[in-house]
Amino acid sequence: MHILIAIASLGGFALMAGLLLSLAQKKFRVEGDPMVEKIDAVLPQTQCGQCGYPGCKPYAEAVARGEADINHCVPGGERTMHQLADLMGVEPKPLEEEPTAPMVAFIREDECIGCTLCIKACPVDAIVGAPKQYHTVIADYCTGCTLCIEPCPVDCIDMLLKPELIEHWAWPLPETERARIGRERKENHARAA
């Protein structure tokens, strides 16, 4: 008899808890995968495809599924790699490629034939132009992804170094022995990990 009461009451509890949980899951359901969103938030959004995926979002999805490693985003550099390692709870890995200096595309307008192919390639709509008109790059929006270089049939797009602005200049670390030692120790640590 006692055993039956125990089974019934425990079973009842379990049923209630199960119902509550399933209700809660319905009610507080999160749209999309929160991990993908979190990863996407720390990617630089250059949309360059150097990670081997067609953009930052697909790479974020691949990382969240555990398919892709955390060290493939080239423009993000070390900082992004560390952030991804933190998010995924894995050890940091050395980067395969160093990020280059920030670039911006420039169209030599007198050579442009107005084919609109570069507009179609640009992932952030940073090129303006119309068929058979000169095209130009809005430098403030260009992420420097180089995707517009390939499609141009007359090869009139150059990648230029982003000009250094005095307002954006930042102080370097002090050149003292201790600063140098600290830096080296950190780098060794990262390499060992």
In angstroms, the CA 75 to CA 117 distance is 24
- CB of 24 or CB of 41, closer to ligand SF4: 41
- CB of 58 or CB of 113, closer to another protein: 58
Binds 137: which of another protein, ligand SF4, none (CB < 5-8 Å by kind): ligand SF4
Q: Is 161 among the residues that bind another protein (CB under 8 A)? A: no
- Nearest approach in angstroms of CB 52 to another protein is 18
- Nearest approach in angstroms of CB 179 to another protein is 6
Taking CB under 6 A as the criterion, which residues in 51-70 touch ligand SF4? 51, 53, 55-56, 59
Interface pick for ligand SF4 out of 127, 129, 135, 152 (rule CB under 6 A)? 127
State the residues that interact with another protein by CB under 8 A: 40, 43-47, 55-56, 79, 123-126, 141, 143, 164, 166, 168-174, 176-179, 182, 186
